[in-house]
Amino acid sequence: MVTTLVELRAALGAGDFDRLLGTPEDTWIDFKKEPYRLDTFKGKWEYAKDVAALANASGGCLVIGVKTGRPQNEPISVAESYVSVPKKLVDIKQHGDMLLNGVYPEVWGVTMSWFPPDSGSDAGLLLIEVPAQRQRDKPFVLRSMFGPDERQMTSALGVPVRNGSETIWLKAERLHPLLGGALGSISTDASNSEKKRLERANDIVRTISRENDWTDVPTMFLQASPPPGRPVLP
């Protein structure tokens, strides 16, 4: 059994996979029997959910290739067995792209490592590490949700968090205080920023008209500006 990320890395690095057996799932560690099926929306969503949940906690890791079971009279699942995962089933770049498209804001520093690390091996256990994130970036939000009919719900979002060994969803009662005043400030900031850009654009038009002596000449100006609410460089 391992109790810390340092012990986990040491056991994996030494190829002592038996040492993982009996390790309970916890806030910092989650075991998966099989790799995520990123060729399906459900698989992409599951991966985004698990990484975001760890990011919303204090970081942690996912160990792919370990099956869990729940001992009798025990409330928490523990590592029960392991089986090497073929490397050909895991596209590391696709995992990175999935996070960029599925989670907001970006989860920084996620790494993926194979054990054994021998490049000649075509299978092993996969360790996905999610480092602790900046508090100001939290909560990490899923851009879409998985509906009851197994369809993508792009008009819905969710905030997954780790609660002990489980991943739960931030309920409306807890989410609402985080939004307190935020929507109003966003709207106000966007409105003020838009007014300033419009005033500046009009000043430029007036200056051009004056410098070219076009004040009394029928003139059409075509202006372009970023849509409201988008990041704009100073």
Task: Write the pLDDT tens digit of every residue in 97-149.
Answer: 989 889 999 999 999 999 986 667 889 999 999 999 998 888 899 988 877 66
| % of residues, the chain, pLDDT over 70 | 83
Phi, psi for residue 101 in degrees, rounded to 5: -85, -20
Q: How confident is the model at residue 234 (pLDDT cuts 50, 70, 90)?
A: low
Over 90: is that where the pLDDT of 223 sits?
Answer: no
pLDDT of 186: 45
Alpha helices, H only, the chain: 5-13, 41-56, 92-102, 172-179, 182-211
As its CATH architecture, domain 5-178 has 2-Layer Sandwich (3.30)
Measured between alpha carbons, how far is 233 from 222 in angstroms, rounded to an integer? 21
pLDDT of 49: 94
pLDDT in tens, 166-184: 888 887 777 766 665 554 5
Measured between alpha carbons, how far is 31 from 78 in angstroms, rounded to an integer? 9
Residue with the bigger pLDDT between 221 and 16: it is 16
Residues contacting residue 66 through CB under 8 Å, at least 6 positions apart: 20, 31, 32, 33, 79, 81, 82, 125
Measured between alpha carbons, how far is 204 from 39 in angstroms, rounded to an integer? 51
CA 20 to chain centre: 26
Over 90: is that where the pLDDT of 204 sits?
Answer: no
pLDDT of 188: 54
Over 90: is that where the pLDDT of 53 sits?
Answer: yes
Over 80: is that where the pLDDT of 57 sits?
Answer: yes
Determine if residue 109 is left, alpha or beta; phi over 0 gives left, psi from -120 to 50 gives alpha, anything else beta: left
Amino acid letter for position 149: D
CA 39 to chain centre: 18
Measured between alpha carbons, how far is 161 from 82 in angstroms, rounded to an integer? 26
